[in-house]
Every structure is written in C-alpha cells, then in structure tokens.
Amino acid sequence: MAEKSFKYVILGGGVSAGYAAREFAKQGVKPGELAIISKEAVAPYERPALSKAYLFPEGTARLPGFHVCVGSGGERLLPEWYPEKGISLILSTEIVKADLPSKTLISAAGETFKYETLIIATGSTVIKLSDFGVQGADAKNILYLREIDDADKLVEAIKEKKNGKAVIVGGGYIGLELSAALRINNIDVSMVYPEPWCMPRLFTSDIAAFYEGYYAKKGVKIIKGTVAVGFDAHENGEVKAVKLKDGRVLEADIVVVGVGGRPLITLFKGQVEEEKGGIKADGFFKTSIPNVYAVGDVATFPLKLYNEIRRVEHVDHARKSAEQAVKAIFAREQGKSIDEYDYLPYFYSRAFDLSWQFYGDNVGDTVLFGDSSPDSSTHKFGSYWIKDGKVVGAFLESGTPEENKAIAKVARVQPPVDNLDELAKEGLTFASKI
C-alpha cells in the first residue's frame, strides 16, 4: 500500500485534534503539511454534547451543529473546512501500530503514514464491565458512552424501549448526566454506585446531598453502597435485569455503564516515558521523544499552579493543551519562545435545569454557602476549598457568567482567609470582592 507523508500528524480526531487544527491554521500551516487521523467517521466535535443535548427529546443536538470549536464560543469547523485549509482529514482509520523511532504509523487496513512531528491526541476509552468478567455483561442494550456511535446506539435504545426501565451503573459525571437525560426521555431510571455519595472525586457530601435530593425529586431512584455483579438476558440476548451485590435484582430494558475511563496510550508503550497513567509531557506538551507531543486526556503535564504533575480528563484542558502544543511547535520552528502552560483546572456539568462549574483544586477544608436545599427555587449554592489558610478551589451551582468568572478568579488568586464561618456567611460576596 502507498505510503503517505506529512510534516505534522495529529493522531486522534476528537476535541484536542479539532482545536489543534484551528491553531495550525492560525499559525499558517501550509496546504498538504497536516493530517488528522481518526478512528471516528466524523470530523472533530465537542464530545461533551453526547451526554447532554444529543440525547434530549427536544432541542436535540446533531452534527454538524456541534463540531469544534462551538463549545468555547468559537468558529464551527465543518468537515469542508479541513480540505479548504489543505488539511487531510483521514477518517474511519484506526492506527494499530506506532513506531516512534522510524516516525511511522500503520493503520488497521495496512496503510503507512510518516510524519516529522506527531501530536498524540487519542483521548480515553471506557472501562467495560466485561473487562472484569462481570457475568452477563455482554448482553444487548448494556451500553457505554464515549463516541458518537455509542451515542447513536443509546438514542436507538431510548426510542425502542419507550417508557422503559434503565439502570445506570456508576455515580460520576456520565452517570449523573445520563440519568438526567434518560429521565427527560420519560424512562424509569435507577442509578447504582458503591460510594456513599455521587461524584466523590469532586463533590463533598454536602454538595452531593443537593444533587441526590434533586434527582430523587425528578424521579431518579438512587441505590448507593452496592455494585452490579451480573446481568440476566432475554432469549433474544437483550438485557432483562441487573443483579446487585446486596442481593437485589433490578429490572432493566437499558443499562448504561459509566464507571470511568482509561487513557489510550498502549500504542506507545515502552517507546515514550509515562507518568501517572499518561504520557509524560512538559509545559509545552513535548514528550520524552523529540518531535512527539501529547495533549488532552493522554497527557500528564506540570500543573504549575500546584507545582505538581497531573493528568486532566476534561474538555477545557483538551482544548487549551492542544493550542499550547501547536503554538510551541511553531515557536520552536521560528526560534521563538512561549510561556509554559499555566493551567487553572476547570470542570463543569449540566443536567436537568442545573449547571455547575468548578475551578481550582478540591483539597483541604470546605465551607458550603448559599441555599443547597433540593427544594430551593434558585438552587444557587457553592463551596470553597481552603488549604494552608488560602482558598484554592471554588464550586458554584446555577451561577451567572459574572459569578462564574468571580469564582474562577478566586481559585487563581488564592486569597487568604482566617475565619471559615465568615467565609460561609459571605459566600459569593467573598468571590465578587477579589
């Protein structure tokens, strides 16, 4: 098969790839120099839409509506944008072998791609229950959500099992957003997770109590402290019931599993330095191999603000790290320098009529402020995290754009506080004064 050569190759066609492509165009990439190779059949899109408006019965999002970079208020890069810029968008092409010393990628169909500079943007894959050998986990309608094909299967199942029953396994981001999306579709939803409260990696028990109460009011049944240990199926292979460790059995027409992800780095095992489960990168997203960069979910990078090395699986970082890597590549070629990446962690989620944002680090003591009762009419409340006498993290539900900006500033500036009771009383007023 013919070999194709490019000056730059982005491996992966997700969020980072799309934002990198826009930055390449801004930096003046020449026609024929850049290729994006993606397993997916569609041009880069804003992945978070898949667990939100993609599943809504009304106001449904469909491509081309949410191609990058609309998620951050930018230009929408339609599939034709790429050839217009002379960028090769090579879709439905899975790379199965990467040889970094010879700068070669090989696809499942046997094509060879050569590059001078590579950006690894392969993102994450979902952890499957069948990976742990959970009995019956390969039954039909046990679904996962990572890519648009997965979302289409879910949309199909929602249509087919109208007014049916769904069990959501997992109480993290995906679990919370999908429970809401299915409920809005009039599906009877139960959520199951082993932890004492939902989203324990970020939420305090106080924050979680609001969401659990709110979801219960919306008719979502929450079952905590247990896990799915097996599934029963109908004769046609479709899932029928979920068996829980505590002995309960839940009827289910659809099961959606959201138990976490894993960065996709196996292609590069042994060829590049790893750290904390990802590919080790510097503040310019350069890896240990010359001319190889890693961005988005796969990159473990220096988080300057906390003097720590971390991996961040969130869309804001995917966008910004991609832009930083491309800027660094061009700066290097032009003998210029740019500032090191200085990222303020930012996560968000939307479900039902709720919307929260979080900035900074969720470590140390916490104070809750505002009205966090699930019955509250405004449901405007939040939390600060305080470490070594400084506010290092801030969470806000139902904030206005100005209020969200204010909590972002708090997390960046890290103002000192000496009285936590005062801080709780002041709440958002504290942030608006910074």
Ligand X SMILES: Cc1cc2nc3c(=O)[nH]c(=O)nc-3n(C[C@H](O)[C@H](O)[C@H](O)COP(=O)(O)OP(=O)(O)OC[C@H]3O[C@@H](n4cnc5c(N)ncnc54)[C@H](O)[C@@H]3O)c2cc1C
**Which positions touch ligand X (CB under 6 A)?**
12-17, 37-40, 47-48, 50-51, 94-95, 121-124, 145-147, 174, 264, 267, 296-297, 313-316, 318, 347-349
Least gap, CB of 392 to ligand X (angstroms): 19
Nearer to ligand X, 40 or 397 (CB): 40
Host H or E run for residue 354:
strand 354-360
Report yes or no: 380 and 368 within 8 Å, Cβ to Cβ.
no
Nearer to ligand X, 193 or 430 (CB): 193
**Residue whose C-alpha is closest to residue 408's, from 372, 382, 370, 387:** 382
| Phi, psi (rounded to 5 degrees) for 405 | -65, -40
Residue with tokens 């850049």: 34
Nearer to ligand X, 6 or 369 (CB): 6
Fill in the amino acid letter for 17: A
Nearer to ligand X, 13 or 427 (CB): 13
Least gap, CB of 15 to ligand X (angstroms): 4
Least gap, CB of 299 to ligand X (angstroms): 8
The Cα–Cα gap between 221 and 180 comes to 11
Least gap, CB of 38 to ligand X (angstroms): 5
Nearer to ligand X, 19 or 210 (CB): 19
The Cα–Cα gap between 329 and 327 comes to 6
The Cα–Cα gap between 421 and 368 comes to 10
Nearer to ligand X, 29 or 36 (CB): 36
Fill in the amino acid letter for 368: L
Least gap, CB of 16 to ligand X (angstroms): 3
In this structure, the dihedral spanned by the alpha carbons of residues 136, 39, 91 and 323, taken in order and rounded to 10 degrees, is 130
The Cα–Cα gap between 44 and 121 comes to 11
Least gap, CB of 383 to ligand X (angstroms): 18
Nearer to ligand X, 123 or 302 (CB): 123
The Cα–Cα gap between 102 and 112 comes to 11
Nearer to ligand X, 37 or 431 (CB): 37
Size of the chain in residues: 434
Q: How many CB atoms lie within 10 A of CB 376?
A: 16
Nearer to ligand X, 244 or 272 (CB): 272
Least gap, CB of 67 to ligand X (angstroms): 12
Nearer to ligand X, 210 or 346 (CB): 346
Question: Strands 354-360 and 346-351: what pairing?
Answer: antiparallel
Least gap, CB of 319 to ligand X (angstroms): 8
Least gap, CB of 143 to ligand X (angstroms): 12
**Residue whose C-alpha is closest to residue 85's, from 46, 136, 126, 30:** 30
The Cα–Cα gap between 386 and 393 comes to 7
β-pair partners for 166: 189, 254
Report yes or no: 73 and 84 within 8 Å, Cβ to Cβ.
no
Report yes or no: 49 and 66 within 8 Å, Cβ to Cβ.
yes
Least gap, CB of 135 to ligand X (angstroms): 26
Residue of closest CB approach to ligand X: 14
Q: How far is CA 100 from CA 14, 36, 270, 289, 291, in A?
A: 21, 17, 10, 8, 10
